[in-house]
Amino acid sequence: QKEVEQNSGPLSVPEGAIASLNCTYSDRGSQSFFWYRQYSGKSPELIMFIYSNGDKEDGRFTAQLNKASQYVSLLIRDSQPSDSATYLCAANSGTYKYIFGTGTRLKVLA
Amino acid sequence: DAGVIQSPRHEVTEMGQEVTLRCKPISGHDYLFWYRQTMMRGLELLIYFNNNVPIDDSGMPEDRFSAKMPNASFSTLKIQPSEPRDSAVYFCASRDTDSYNEQFFGPGTRLTVL
């Protein structure tokens, strides 16, 4: 069974701090990785994707990928209360099939 | 564009009844996905279509579930007969081949089976 694992949280950080969200995956054939944000009662929305080892930055968000360790992370700098949501990690093995983790709930405390 | 449209937004039914969920993908998108989300299992892919053809239905839990896509602008997910363990939020998502890996999700249908 191909899996994507995330700590369910909640992860609580103070406003202005860096939030670090982590994800591991079991399928070594996974090629692309995604971070979705999901507010309570809403649908997931894509924040970032990454497919090369290393870091990818987009505004306050940085995705990090380490294929050797089968590890993906998302850093959120200058966290805001509006970042409070569940963050879903997903992996794709080159097909159109995406495997999602169960998500990490982030709470940013004002 | 209005985005992915799903109906109904909420459905409450009794065990044994047939349930039909509907989805209209974004115009021009050639891939359509049905997901189910629960607290315990997270977001699970049930089935996806390409150009109206089912490509992978390995996530469909059992024969009680069926999905169709009669044309490029409409898909249904049917559960017959429904059971309480089917209670979940069902999402439809679509994408086109050229939008690198980005799926657009609909608002979801919250299904409660009593």
User: Which tens digit of pLDDT belongs to each residue from B35-51?
Assistant: 999 988 899 999 999 99
Nearest CA to B27 out of B67, B60, B74, B65 is that of B74
Q: What is the C-alpha separation between B69 and B91, in angstroms, rounded?
A: 15
Is B42–A88 a contact, with Cβ atoms under 8 angstroms apart? Answer: yes
Mutation for testing the A interface, residue in B36, B43, B89 having most A CBs under 10 Å: B43
pLDDT at residue A71 is higher than 80: yes
Residues from chain B that touch A101, judged by Cβ atoms under 8 A, are 42
Note whether B65 contacts A: Cβ–Cβ < 8 A: no
Please write the tens of the pLDDT for every residue from A10-68: 999 999 999 999 999 998 888 899 999 999 999 999 999 999 999 999 999 999 999 99
Strand pairing category for B10-13 and B109-113:
parallel
**A100 vs B: CB within 8 A:** yes
Helix H or strand E segment including B90: strand B88-95
CA distances from A59 to A76, B10, B18, B64, B91 (A): 9, 36, 46, 45, 28
pLDDT band of B1, cuts 50, 70, 90: low
Tally of helices (H runs) and strands (E runs) in chain A: 0, 11
Q: pLDDT at position B100, please?
A: 66
Q: A58 vs chain B: nearest CA distance in angstroms?
A: 16
Q: How far is B66 from chain A (nearest CA, A)?
A: 18
pLDDT in tens, B55-109: 999 999 889 999 999 999 999 999 999 999 999 999 999 998 877 678 899 999 9
The residues that bridge with B96 in the sheet, in sequence order, are none
Contacts of A37 (CB under 8 A, 6+ apart): A44, A45, A47, A85, A86, A87, A88
Is pLDDT above 70 for A1?
A: no
The CA distance from A91 to the nearest CA of chain B, in Å, is 11
Instruction: Inform me whether the pLDDT recorded for A96 exceeds 90.
Output: no
The distance of B35 to chain A (nearest Cα, Å) reads: 10
Question: Over the range B56-72, which residues count as b (16 or more CB within 10 Å of their CB) and which as e?
Answer: beebbeeeebebebeeb
B83 phi, psi to nearest 5 deg: -130, 155
pLDDT band, residue A78 (cuts 50/70/90)? very high
Cβ-nearest to A100 among B42, B95, B100: B42
Tell me the C-alpha to C-alpha distance, in Å, between residue A53 and each of A49, A65, A91, A96, B92: 12, 5, 14, 21, 31
Q: Check if B99 contacts A (Cβ < 8 Å).
A: no
Q: Is A104 on the interface with B (CB under 8 A)?
A: no
From B43, B50, B55, residue closest to A100, measured CB to CB? B43
Look at residue A92 and tell me whether its pLDDT is greater than 90: no
pLDDT given for residue B2 in this prediction: 80
Residue contact A96–B55, C-beta within 8 A: yes
Specify the pLDDT at position A97: 82
**Residue B37 CA: distances (Å) to CA of A94, B9, B92:** 23, 14, 11
In the predicted structure, residue A94 carries a pLDDT above the cut 80? no
Q: Three-state secondary structure along A57-106?
A: EECCEEEEEECCCCEEEEEECCCCHHHCEEEEEEEECCCCCEEECCCEEE
